[in-house]
Amino acid sequence: MRLENKVVLISGGASGIGAETARRVVREGGKAVLADRDEAKGRALAEELGASAAFAALDVTDEAAWQKAVAATVDSYGGLHGLLNAAGIGVRNSIEDCSLEEYRRVNDVNSMGTFLGCKSAIPAMARSGGGSIVNISSVLGLRGASYAMAYCASKGAVRSLTKNVAMHCAQMKYGIRCNSVHPGYIDTPMIAPRLSGTIDNMTGRQWLEALHPLGRLGRAEEVADMILFLLSDESTFSTGSEFVCDGGLTA
């Protein structure tokens, strides 16, 4: 019961890495609040997980919605001990063909959404005695990719924001840690459009798999296991750090 008596708010909790993390939170004795724009999927998963899970409607670019989700979490379960910023979008573009509108949209969700999540959750977590914030960045927050300009920029911002939040919370003695997780290409709905078609005489799936020395895409549950470690008290001396889960891609 690695998360016994801990309450975790998860943005993007209706699917992918967020949903797998929610399952682990409940399995390990915690309470999970699934915050997402997809109400149908979010409520269905919360119902599946039982009394230890709840759904909260959330547009991560809306500060008022974040504040409402945090308040609902505390009202439902009496506190807040963990935050996973997992909501994100990806768009394929280069510096020359990325429009200003597209750049803003990707950064609004991935970067600003993470900023608003941290800002909204920290006061409630401090009142609850501290805890752990986990921000989903990407291997493309550590390295460049000519085909994902806006995404790289947004995930690099998440990496730097994580360090700032970690240092602030340490200075304020809130007992809140903050770390970033950097997945490789994970087989989730987010990359599904990339798996068809052909690149260099390979299918999209084969091309992405070949980027990883382990020769396959990652699974959402593999990333969720790393997040579980960071949410738990097993990682209490880790803050402001990058945790990479990429099948060797950045090696």
Q: Mind telling me the catalytic residues?
A: 151
| 112 three-state secondary structure | helix
DSSP string, 137-148: --GGGTS--TTB
Sequence-distant (6+) residues with CB within 8 A of 123 are none
| 34 three-state secondary structure | strand
Which residue, 107, 158, 106, 150, is CA-closest to 133?
Answer: 158
CB 247 within 8 A of CB 184: yes
CB 73 within 8 A of CB 7: yes
The two structure tokens encoding residue 18? 């967020």
Which residue, 136, 143, 125, is CA-closest to 80?
Answer: 125
Per this entry, what is the length of the chain? Answer: 251
Which residue, 117, 115, 238, 250, is CA-closest to 179?
Answer: 238
